Amino acid sequence: MEAWIFFKRTVRMVFVGTKAYYLWCAFLLAIIGAAITFYTKQLDAGLIVTNMRDQVSWGLYIGNFTYLVGVAAAAVLLVIPAYIYHFDPIKEIVVLGELLAASAIIMALMFVLADLGRPDRFWHIIPFIGILSFPNSLLAWDVIVLNGYLVLNTIVPIYILIKTYFGKEPTKNFVIPLVLLSIPWAVGIHTVTAFLYNGLAARPFWNASILAPRFLASAFCSGPAMALIIFQVLRKTAGMKIKNEALFKVAELMAYAMFINLFLLGAELFKEYYTATIHLAPMQYLFQGLHGHHALVPWIWSAMAMNITAFLIFLIPGTRKNLITLNIGSLLIIVGVWIEKGLGLIVPGFIPDPLGEIYEYLPNINEIAISLGIWAFGLFIFTLFMRIAIPIQRGDFVHSKYGKAAVKRQYERIKP
């Protein structure tokens, strides 16, 4: 009964908000609606409506998938200090970090679904109902670890929020083991996703053992960068409690992660360019162009410039502890890593193809529209999560026994 009332109140909660909240939701829903029409077209005509072909058989969808798995994995960067080192200022953002991870996983899974030629046969991949080729296929591993991670990152924050709503302390014996489990699991999802590409001897660009470490390092840049921006937006719009000190701490960790990322990239570039075997070709295609084809060259150099600039911003305490430069750095990382791990990772894997053909790929309007739709859907889910989570955490949305139980349009801001 209490649970039912709680549920009803949360549903009512997401329908109430400020003008900005309504506008934001309407904006996202409009993008989702447009994307659905593009996806219907893709379902109807087949994947021919994309720019993918036999030579480059994965593109923007799988690039976004890889990036978002990284964002999801990076939730641990927020969890580790909060639970292990009892760093209190970060503690309050853990729930939100985990909900961000859950939203990112939902988006990642939707990108796989968008890329799937036969979504009508989706049941073939469900264990026990269909046939999941475990342990042979790394894609089967990914299905398992991603869904497990989604469950984990949904259970923990929802449990904590419900407990808080009913004015109780979360049971440590329940939460701590799950949180500790989520740390190696986060490393796991991104490692498995890296192995998905890494395990293909046919594609020398991916068949490098440095791939999984690089994945983790770049994830620990892009995920927290996204969190930094989102938390500041929520602080302004939803009155979320978060101190600058916590933001700066996360930024410092990001500087280390970006250093490792750049170092690993350098190690890879050295090996490929110094030995200069025929396996250099994809790298050459990406950074210099190959046989007159250089669609990705401006992209990757922009990404390099963004990542290095962001690294310097986050390294120098003066710029790291200034919200304006911090935000510039975060945006640079979000875009820079997206290019590096999206198109910059997936496409050169296919160029040149195993028989030496070069087919240049850049996504077309259908792929871009569907991808934007999935991003909008993820942000929409996350917005709804936040609409509930923040008032609960602030103590504004609690059981009537424990406080004033009003569904308010907006809560007063708290000075950072």
Q: What is the binding site for other proteins (CB under 8 A)? A: 45-48, 52-54, 57-58, 112, 115-118, 120-125, 128-133, 136-140, 143, 196-197, 199-203, 278, 281, 349-350, 352-357
Considering the complex, state which of residue 197 and residue 314 has its C-beta at the smaller distance from other proteins. 197
Considering the complex, state which of residue 185 and residue 195 has its C-beta at the smaller distance from other proteins. 195
Considering the complex, state which of residue 42 and residue 153 has its C-beta at the smaller distance from other proteins. 42
Question: How far is it, in rounded angstroms, from Cα 269 to Cα 389?
Answer: 44
Decide: 150 and 105 in contact? Cβ < 8 Å.
yes
Q: How far is the CB of 211 from other proteins (least distance, A)?
A: 14
Helices 60-73 and 211-237 pack at an angle, to 10 degrees, of 70
Q: Which residues, in sequence order, are CB contacts of 59 under 8 Å at separation 6+? A: 50, 51, 52, 343, 346, 347, 361, 363, 367
Question: How far is it, in rounded angstroms, from Cα 355 to Cα 309?
Answer: 38
Question: How far is it, in rounded angstroms, from Cα 155 to Cα 79?
Answer: 15
Q: How far is the CB of 204 from other proteins (least distance, A)?
A: 10
Considering the complex, state which of residue 81 and residue 282 has its C-beta at the smaller distance from other proteins. 282
- Can you tell me which residue has the tokens 């998905």? 196
Q: How far is the CB of 43 from other proteins (least distance, A)?
A: 9
- CB burial readout 364-389, b (16+ within 10 A) else e: eebbebbbebbbbbbbbbbbbbbbbb
- Can you tell me which residue has the tokens 């068949």? 207
Q: How far is the CB of 126 from other proteins (least distance, A)?
A: 8
Considering the complex, state which of residue 137 and residue 327 has its C-beta at the smaller distance from other proteins. 137
Decide: 122 and 116 in contact? Cβ < 8 Å.
yes
Q: How far is the CB of 350 from other proteins (least distance, A)?
A: 8
Considering the complex, state which of residue 111 and residue 311 has its C-beta at the smaller distance from other proteins. 111
The number of residues making up the chain comes to 416
User: Which residues is 48 bridged to in the sheet?
Assistant: none
In a 13 Å sphere around the CA of 323, the CA atoms on its Cβ side amount to 10
- Ramachandran quadrant class, 399 (left: phi over 0; alpha: psi -120 to 50; beta: rest): beta
Decide: 166 and 399 in contact? Cβ < 8 Å.
yes
Element (H, E) at 285: helix 281-287
Considering the complex, state which of residue 140 and residue 335 has its C-beta at the smaller distance from other proteins. 140
Considering the complex, state which of residue 53 and residue 271 has its C-beta at the smaller distance from other proteins. 53
Using DSSP's 3-state secondary structure scheme, residue 46 falls into coil
Considering the complex, state which of residue 168 and residue 291 has its C-beta at the smaller distance from other proteins. 291
Q: How far is the CB of 197 from other proteins (least distance, A)?
A: 8
User: Which residues is 290 bridged to in the sheet?
Assistant: 293
Q: How far is the CB of 119 from other proteins (least distance, A)?
A: 8
Q: How far is the CB of 148 from other proteins (least distance, A)?
A: 16
Q: How far is the CB of 206 from other proteins (least distance, A)?
A: 9
Q: How far is the CB of 145 from other proteins (least distance, A)?
A: 13
Q: How far is the CB of 76 from other proteins (least distance, A)?
A: 26
Q: Which residues, in sequence order, are CB contacts of 366 under 8 Å at separation 6+? A: 38, 41, 42, 49, 50
Considering the complex, state which of residue 88 and residue 357 has its C-beta at the smaller distance from other proteins. 357
Q: Which residues, in sequence order, are CB contacts of 372 under 8 Å at separation 6+? A: 31, 35
Considering the complex, state which of residue 67 and residue 382 has its C-beta at the smaller distance from other proteins. 67
Question: How far is it, in rounded angstroms, from Cα 138 to Cα 140?
Answer: 5
